[in-house]
Structure 1
Amino acid sequence: MESLWTVLPIFAPMKPIYDFSTHLFSTLAKIATGTNSKLGKLVDGRENLFGKLAEFRKNFTAPIAWFHVASLGEYEQARPVIAELKRKMPEYGVVVSFFSPSGFDHVSNKSQSDVDFITYLPIDTPRNAKMFLGILQPALAFFVKYDLWANHILTAKKMKIPLFLISASMRADQIYFKVYGGFFRKILESFAHIFTQNRETIDLLEGVGIGCTTLTGDTRYDRVKQISQHPKSFPEIKSFVAGKPVLVVGSAWEEDMDLILPFINTHSEYCYIVAPHDINVQAIEKWQKRIVRKSIKYSEIGKNQSADVLFIDNIGMLSSLYQYARIAYIGGAFGKGLHNILEPLAYGIPVVFGNLQKVTKFPEAEISKNQGCGFSVSTEKEFEEIMGELEDPEVYQKACSSAEKLVSGNLGSAAKIIQSVMDQIKKS
């Protein structure tokens, strides 16, 4: 079979199949227009996309560095690189495109330093890609981690736009590394350079003949360190915790709360701050009913209600809440995916999280465990045991020191990326 693939041009038959699938998705998605579903927002948000982009470009004549991200998490990875680009290459404007409505909505509703324009990426058809890039005319293009859209990347390559992939973290089970993945490898081959999070990604890429790579690490370390150095201040929460040891539960799902609630009910020495993954009042009220101790929502905190458990019922606070924590529990491992454990680690505190279904998708979890600042649990008993172990001052301090060492040892990724990009631009 392998000899057949060396004779037949894989790229030719796969491209029409890919294009057909994107056209079909675009057509079917329009059925959701006007609904409040995620798919409906994805379609409605792209209304007049090209008109808005053309209006921006008409009035903005500086060269453009275009960053594409899937959603909010990838945008956070891009932010240190954007800031470094603006610092070292101030003549460039920055445009950020999103695929996900949740990421776009969250970011576009607030002023973003160093970003000149925020847009959706159009559905990845050949026509859309040509129109988008024809209007935007970027001088540089950056894709973050994994959200790689074939037509936009291949069209940019044809237009001789330098393409860079940053914070790449790849796995052997991805289609790029399969015998039938020739078309998708063409996407990776289009990048002028790929900056990776780990050595394993470089080995995988070199195994399929892609050599323009550099190990620069995960740009999230730069970002979480920035946040931890300048967290938002919440005087009302400082008053709420009143000097007691705090367990912050970040991005809590039902499975996480099932594990944690028994501990909350039996350990009055802590006070608790719980930030749900989704702000769902019904879910919060259901959890409140299962807690034997007094609990309140953040929206009620100004009513001078004393309580031991605080539920955060708005968004945008979590990354700064860890400043009040002695220990953090990070949710999502039992379900959709582990939330960002680097945020609490940047504050120099240990993190606890559920046993992961797919360990390779979240390499930072295994790294934190090996370093001694991350702890995974499967049951209520295991969670209680870990919390008990961390009561030992020596064990706790060792975990805190490991967290600080892990983060400080991985800083500087953004600076390395931009310096490499600048060097490559000078050579071209």
Structure 2
Amino acid sequence: MLFLYTIGLWLYALLLRLAAPFVPKAAQWTNGRRGLLAHIQQALQAETAPRVWFHCASLGEFEQGRPLLEVYRQQYPQHKIVLTFFSPSGYEIRKDWPGADYIFYLPLDTAANTGAFLDAVQPRLAVFVKYEFWYYFLTGLHRRQVPTICVSAIFRPDQVFFKPWGGLFRRMLGCFTHIFTQNEASTALLRQLGIRQVSTAGDTRFDTVVATAAAPPKALPILTAFGADGTPVLVVGSSWPEDITMLTPALQALAPAALRVLVAPHELHETGLRQVEALLPGQVLRYSQATPETAATARILLIDSIGLLRELYRYGTLGYVGGAFGKGLHNTLEAAVFGLPLLFGPNYHKFQEAKDLIQLGGADAVKDAEELETALKFLVYNPEQRQPIVEKNRRYVLTQAGATAKIMRWLDGELSLRAARSNPS
């Protein structure tokens, strides 16, 4: 199985190299790893402070781990944080994030790369966020007795860990010093495998969105002007072309005076931006071209700038979260913390918070454009039905916060124990 795992990774890297001339993300993945280990070694060779390693697959996992990174930085300012990403969508956006001291791509998971990377970084602690399981890195950390944790993990019975042929991946789980899961069902599944170093902490994303909602609003005069007349505002977050296609009939059916729309595409490609503009020709205004005066009369404001999504929901009345008509739903908590009644597509079952919100009556999953139009019209034309949902969604998010504090208590104890062992009195 290890042979197949290794061959599979090499084939994956080869395919990305072949695709690089034609696919921008493949080019970023490939180019970002040229000379990577030498770059890491050079960057760290003169560093003498203790180092900790945080790894995130992509931007979503970074946001999930961000509250832990920020609290760790506050409590251990003498430690240097090394942050790695597997995907360009994380690295390219956060490569200059000031909360980490060193930010790199993750080298391909091979025995040689692992040895060179760990020799260069020499981590006192390693933290993997949610989904990243790399055999050579995990076994390398385990051999070096580096405390290694996984946070905000979620497990399902259909995953490879629980299959008869999943022995290699079960060995990876055994390399973690501790696994913090999002829910009790995940904890129970791991304990059935004999994994005892596991506990339920919850999802650190709740801490992120609660902090966002509690922070003073940023000065965004264009967004303030857009919703100033009191017309309900639908925030379409992390949309893909499939989402726009499904939304089109509903937006065409609703009168301009009934609903205004903020659209934040998941990827800011020109083709996708033009697709949104084609929804209602002449009624779409790009954020980069807007002024408070023009935004005040626009029907649809298209967000073509990075980094605004979490703030957008503050200006909304309703929320539509993209991705669930494709590979999977994006972050619903960023909208739920502001109390927005939520709509999304049918592919949401891997996301516990989406299932919870549906059960609470704070969200609705629709299977097609017709259902979406019906649900959206109901929320627009029945404002008295929205307020109970607002309170439910806010309360749900607030009661789920606290995972970061639970994980930090464990880390404080583990680091203190390791320090005592290395410096016996």
TM-score normalised by structure 2 residue count: 0.91
For the pair 1:84 / 2:74, whether they are aligned, the reply is: no
The structure-2 alpha-carbon separation of the partners of 1:82 and 1:289, relative to structure 1 and needing over 3 Å to count, comes to closer
Tell me if structure 1 keeps the 8 A contact 2:65–2:204: yes
User: Higher mean Cα deviation, 390-399 or 187-196?
Assistant: 390-399
Letter of the structure 2 residue corresponding to residue 398 of structure 1 = P
| C-alpha distance after superposition, 1:125-166 (max 9, x if no partner) | 110011001110000001111111110111111111111010
The structure-2 alpha-carbon separation of the partners of 1:420 and 1:291, relative to structure 1 and needing over 3 Å to count, comes to same
The structure-2 alpha-carbon separation of the partners of 1:141 and 1:36, relative to structure 1 and needing over 3 Å to count, comes to same
* Match for residue 228 of structure 1 among 213, 233, 238: 213
The structure-2 alpha-carbon separation of the partners of 1:70 and 1:259, relative to structure 1 and needing over 3 Å to count, comes to same
User: Higher mean Cα deviation, 149-158 or 297-306?
Assistant: 297-306
Q: What corresponds to 2:284 in structure 1?
A: 295
Q: Distance in 2 between matches of 1:37 and 1:388?
A: 39
User: Higher mean Cα deviation, 137-146 or 263-272?
Assistant: 263-272
Note the C-alpha offset of 1:252.
Answer: 1.6
Q: What corresponds to 1:4 in structure 2?
A: none
Q: What corresponds to 2:423 in structure 1?
A: none
Letter of the structure 2 residue corresponding to residue 234 of structure 1 = L
Identical aligned residues as a percent: 36
Note the C-alpha offset of 1:293.
Answer: 6.2
Unaligned runs of 5+ in 1: 1-13
The CA RMSD over aligned residues, in Å, is 1.9
Tell me if structure 2 keeps the 8 A contact 1:23–1:125: no
Note the C-alpha offset of 1:362.
Answer: 1.5
Note the C-alpha offset of 1:58.
Answer: 2.4
User: Higher mean Cα deviation, 237-246 or 63-72?
Assistant: 237-246
Q: What corresponds to 1:353 in structure 2?
A: 344
For the pair 1:367 / 2:356, whether they are aligned, the reply is: yes
Q: Distance in 1 between matches of 2:281 and 2:34?
A: 49
Q: What corresponds to 2:234 in structure 1?
A: 247
User: Higher mean Cα deviation, 206-215 or 82-91?
Assistant: 82-91
Note the C-alpha offset of 1:36.
Answer: 5.0
TM-score normalised by structure 1 residue count: 0.91
Note the C-alpha offset of 1:183.
Answer: 1.3
Note the C-alpha offset of 1:415.
Answer: 1.0
Tell me if structure 2 keeps the 8 A contact 1:293–1:307: no
Note the C-alpha offset of 1:28.
Answer: 5.0
| C-alpha distance after superposition, 1:84-142 (max 9, x if no partner) | 2122233222111000011100101x4332x1110011000110011001110000001
Tell me if structure 2 keeps the 8 A contact 1:322–1:344: yes
* Match for residue 169 of structure 1 among 154, 163, 178: 154
Q: Distance in 2 between matches of 1:281 and 1:16?
A: 42
User: Higher mean Cα deviation, 121-130 or 262-271?
Assistant: 262-271
User: Higher mean Cα deviation, 227-236 or 147-156?
Assistant: 227-236
Q: What corresponds to 1:111 in structure 2?
A: 97
Q: Distance in 2 between matches of 1:262 and 1:32?
A: 36
Q: What corresponds to 2:83 in structure 1?
A: 96
Note the C-alpha offset of 1:304.
Answer: 4.7
* Match for residue 10 of structure 2 among 23, 29, 52: 23
Q: Distance in 1 between matches of 2:222 and 2:14?
A: 49
Q: What corresponds to 2:263 in structure 1?
A: 274
User: Higher mean Cα deviation, 78-87 or 279-288?
Assistant: 279-288
Secondary structure of 1:367 counterpart: helix
Unaligned runs of 5+ in 2: 419-425
